[in-house]
Every structure is written in C-alpha cells, then in structure tokens.
Chains A and B, each alone.
Chain A
Amino acid sequence: MSLTFKSLGIDDYLEQSTTGTTTSYTFDINNSSGTTAGDSGFIIVMGSWNTTADVSTQFQTSFLDSSGNIISTKYRTTSTNTTLTRSSTDKSFSTAASNNYFEPHNMSSASSTAFDGERHHFMYHISFNPQTSSSGQPMGYLHCSGHYIVTETSGNIVIGYCDQIAIQKNSTNKIEQMKIQTSSGFMTNLRVKVYRLGAR
C-alpha cells in the first residue's frame, strides 16, 4: 500500500465502483494480515450509491479481518430529518452499525441509473490504532465517525451521524477491510474511495 503525492494533494489509496447490483460491498482499508497489526493512521472513506427500488432500508457498516470475519463493534447513531431527531439506543457489540435510524424510503423513480439527487452519500473518518507489542502502549482501537445523507421518498432530507468503535488488542489486531451493506434492497452505481491522510 502506498500513496502518491500530487501537486493538489494525495492520490486515493483505493477506488472501486460497480454498476451492478449488490446487497453488500467489501473493500480494503488497511494491510493487516492474520493476527498481524495493520498500520496506524487516519483514513477517510467516501462514496455514494443508488437503490434499485423504492424500499425501506438501513445502510450499515462493518469491519472485517483478512479472512472475512466480522469484528464486533459498539455504536450509536443519530439521525434527523425536517421534523424529527432520533437516536439509536445503546447498541451492544454488534456486527453491523446502522447509519440511518429512519429507515428512509429511497428512489422515488424506478430508474436506478439516473442521477436524480437521491443518491446516498457517506463519508467516514476512521482512526486506526492497533495495539503494539511494546510495553506501555495503550489499548488499540478503531473509531469510525460517519456522516450520511439521503432523500426520503417524501422529499425530506435525512442526515445521519454514526460513531462506531472496535476494540483492538493483540489478539484482534487484524482489521483489514470495511463492508457496507443494505438491510434490504440493493445498492447499485456504487463508488467508494479510500484515502489515508496520515500514518506513523
């Protein structure tokens, strides 16, 4: 994994996209391997997608090791539209954090390919801190602080804030991938980019 520095900033570490339909999408955010700790750093993941049908769904995020096993996390989500603010109750260690508590309806149009302003947009700020084997080091963790916006069928805008924590000790220093998924329905015209803004 390496970054390219450009006159206008840094290149993305990873870009993936699909025009197909999928219920989940998994991509690399770090270079852990087995029980080997990944690099510490500050990572930004951003992207957007459409649904293929008008369906209530929750957009969820998970973190996986190099073997595809989901690492449990603890999270809290706050979402708001024009009239209501809702927050998730305390979510004990969970495999998938919801990013929109409203379960909004999505595309009012059946056309999933048109850009009509009803795409889901997200950006995650991820602090990645594996615990090192050095004595005196504090606990490792991953803190994913997310922003999310989507349009309901009614036309209301829903915004969501999701904070998600995965504890990383020596035995679990292996988060390598991030997974985004819908609780129902499909994602299409998905694009994801990963930037590593900083690292030791």
Chain B
Amino acid sequence: MPIGSYEFTEHGVKPFEEENGATGAGATSVTVDINNIQQKGITLCDGFIRPAAGARLNMQLWDNTLVNQKNVMYRMGKNSTTSTYSTGSSSEVRITNENIDPDTDEGCFFQIWFKFGENQTSTPYEDVSFHWRCFYFLDGAASAGVHQSEGQGKVITAGDTSKAKFIANGSNVNEYRLRCYNFLSH
C-alpha cells in the first residue's frame, strides 16, 4: 500500500486507504490507517457507517501496532432544534451524541480531518489534533429525524498516532465505507 507520497490520478489524490462492506464487518468496530508511516501533514477520513442496531459512533486512536491506545481531549457539539455540547477527556471520542438508526438507507456520514504536526516529543512540541463534521439519522421509528454533530479534539499521549478505530457503541458495524486521503508532507 503506497503511502507517504502523492498518488495522483487525473481527478486528484488517490485514497491510500479504502475499507468497505455491505454485509457487515462482523465486529463492533472497523479500523483504518490514517498515518501508518508517522509523517507530518494532513489526512482526510471520509466515512459512512450503518450499525446493526441503534448505536452511537465513537472513535479511538491507536499507534501502528494497535497496542498503545491514545488518550484525547475533545469537545463535541450536537445540533438539533437546539444546540448542546459535550466535552471529554478520555480514551474515546464521541462522534455522535445519539444512537444512529440501523435501517436501510440510513446511518452516519462524516468527514474527519487529522493534523499531524510532530508526533514525537520535540521542541517546539506539537502533537496530533483533529476536527470533524457528521450527519446522522436518529435511531427510532421511520423518519425519526436527522442531526448534525461537529467537534475538535487533540491527542494527549506522546508517540505515533497511526490508526483510527470506529466503534458502533453497543452494537456491531453493519454497512460501512471508510476512505482516507493523505496530504502528508514528510
């Protein structure tokens, strides 16, 4: 899997990572590479996940070995008829505030931008941060509604951040597509 240099197509940058399935991942989560060569730059993770049953979408960040999980600090805003906000300092980012509808043609759609400054302790110190926008169908009867969420966060554990694990909290991942584009520099 080439990564770390641009792969241009006639239409732009080729995604270096694409994971998808229509019949379920058979697991509570799907993991994708977001920077498995620990370079500096930007990665866009473009995603769609439909859980097997009503579930919230959470995200964890890991190193390349999937041994060391990263802690994060973040704030998430939920936009419904009124806006509320949730904040956290934890090992897991709450991407949506409510359970996502598992029905066909529904689910959760998101765009997450990761910024990789300097993964290692250095002077001046800079680590990994991210921001996202998400649109999701609310769990419930047909046409229960749709919500937006948005948020920003930062990684507070030193060392490389290489993989993102998307978790259907309380259920399994059913239909999914995750595509990552890298704008990494060096």
Q: Please give me the residue from chain A that is nearest to B138 by CB atom.
A: A90
Give the residue of A10, A78, A85 whose beta carbon is less than 8 angstroms from that of B12. A10
Contact stretch, chosen from B54-62, B64-72, B78-86, B118-126: B78-86
Give the residue of A74, A136, A200 whose beta carbon is less than 8 angstroms from that of B146. A74
- Choose among A5, A74, A141, A163 the residue with the greatest number of B CB atoms under 10 Å from its CB: A163
Contact B148 A199 (CB under 8 A): no
Contact A200 B15 (CB under 8 A): yes
B15 to chain A minimum Cβ distance, whole angstroms, is 6
Contact stretch, chosen from B17-25, B32-40, B89-97: B17-25
| Category for how many chain A residues contact B | 35 or more
Known contacts A78-B83, A136-B23: A199-B109 contact under CB 8 Å? no
Contact B143 A92 (CB under 8 A): yes
Assembly CA distance A74 to B142 (angstroms): 13
Known contacts A87-B81, A136-B21: A161-B12 contact under CB 8 Å? no
User: Which residues of chain A (84-138) have a CB below 8 Å from chain B?
Assistant: 85, 87, 89-92, 125, 127, 129, 135-138
Q: For B15, list chain A residues within 8 Å (CB).
A: 198, 200
A194 to chain B minimum Cβ distance, whole angstroms, is 11
Assembly CA distance A42 to B148 (angstroms): 20
Contact A139 B22 (CB under 8 A): yes
> Is A174 part of the contact surface with B, judged by Cβ < 8 Å?
no
B184 to chain A minimum Cβ distance, whole angstroms, is 13
Known contacts A161-B150, A197-B181: A76-B135 contact under CB 8 Å? yes
Contact B79 A196 (CB under 8 A): no
Contact B9 A78 (CB under 8 A): no
Cβ contacts A47-77/B at 8 Å (1 or 0 each) = 0000000000000000000000000001110
Q: For A28, list chain B residues within 8 Å (CB).
A: none
Assembly CA distance A39 to B10 (angstroms): 11
Contact B135 A3 (CB under 8 A): no
> Is A34 part of the contact surface with B, judged by Cβ < 8 Å?
no
Assembly CA distance A154 to B175 (angstroms): 47
Assembly CA distance A76 to B150 (angstroms): 13
> Is B176 part of the contact surface with A, judged by Cβ < 8 Å?
yes
For the complex of A and B, the 8 pairs showing the least CB-CB separation, nearest first, are A199-B11, A163-B135, A90-B145, A78-B79, A198-B13, A198-B181, A143-B109, A198-B12
List chain B positions with a Cβ less than 8 A from chain A.
8-15, 18, 20-23, 44, 46, 48, 50, 79-83, 104-105, 107, 109, 111, 133-135, 137, 143, 145-148, 150, 175-177, 179, 181
